[in-house]
Amino acid sequence: MTYANPAAIVSTDWLAQHLTAPDLRVVDATWFHPRSGLKGRAEYDAAHIPGAIHFDIDDIADTSRPLPHMLPDATRFASKVRKLGLGNGNRIVVYDRSGGGAAAARVWWMLRVFGHRDVSVLDGGFEAWLAEGRAQEDLPPMPRERHFMPRVNQLLVRSFEQMKTGLEQGREQIVDARSPGRFAGTEPEPWPGKKAGHMPGALNVPWTDLLDPAGKTFLPAPALIARFERAGVDLARPIVTTCGSGVTACVLALALALLGRDDVAVYDGSWAEWGQADDSVAVCAAVAE
């Protein structure tokens, strides 16, 4: 059984064969949680796939809000990506250093929100590329500014208010990409000042469970289906994904796109927003699952 939408990802072989195609743009989306002490830009500067530009999800964001890497408005997004040399006619491949592409999936989702459909994530990421001994470089390209006209698809995004309404209506399934411990409230949250637990009625599909443990590539379609169904997810019903700050939720959205569900929405603020809400918002704290 093959993926229903295999174009959502590309292999390292495919990228190597198409790396010099004139319409291809390669994007390095490497990002690390602030507590790691690592910097995505520094890792990019040290080594990246030839021709790749760096996309910083903390910069191409709504920086007026206190929440991390929230989706920017269309004007800011278009201005930023144009300067990176990304245009409407480009075939874009995104990768990072998280195997299955945590931040890469976030960029994939952002581009789709703003109307760019011809975008894929490199399966296995930079680690797979390096493991195969493929070319790398440490000099950034000098991209020529391109035309990017955003066409916003709000159906792929959920806000705080929409999530509250959704909980009341119960129409959409909420699928949380965090670890079982964070979901249950038995492990501390890496983002300070957040409550423990998960949204009422949410289902837990840790994003790492969707990847092969060795190569960090996406599991075959039958295994992906089994992972979601085991968690109680009905793949025929509407789905919204969430996580800690809207990054790994996009990995779930990407996996579901591989299975043909390209209509899955992401809760942009995720637990970074929900977990600091006032007491009028129900939070299942420290629930033993």
pLDDT profile of the chain (289 residues), mean per 10: 94 98 98 87 97 98 94 98 97 91 96 98 97 97 96 98 93 97 88 82 97 95 99 98 97 99 98 79 53
The sign one gets for the Cα dihedral 147, 149, 153, 157 is positive
Instruction: Locate 25 and state its tokens.
Output: 């743009």
Query: DSSP strand E in 14-87: where?
Result: 24-28, 53-54
Catalytic residues: 243
Q: Supply the pLDDT for residue 38.
A: 86
Q: What pLDDT is attached to residue 99? A: 74
Q: What structural domains does the chain harbor?
A: 6-153 (3.40.250.10), 155-274 (3.40.250.10)
Of 206, 33, 44, 30, nearest to 122 by C-alpha is 30
Report d(CA 193, CA 113) in Å as an integer. Answer: 29
What's the pTM?
0.95
**Which spans in the chain are helix H?**
12-18, 40-46, 74-83, 102-113, 125-131, 160-169, 180-184, 221-230, 249-258, 270-274
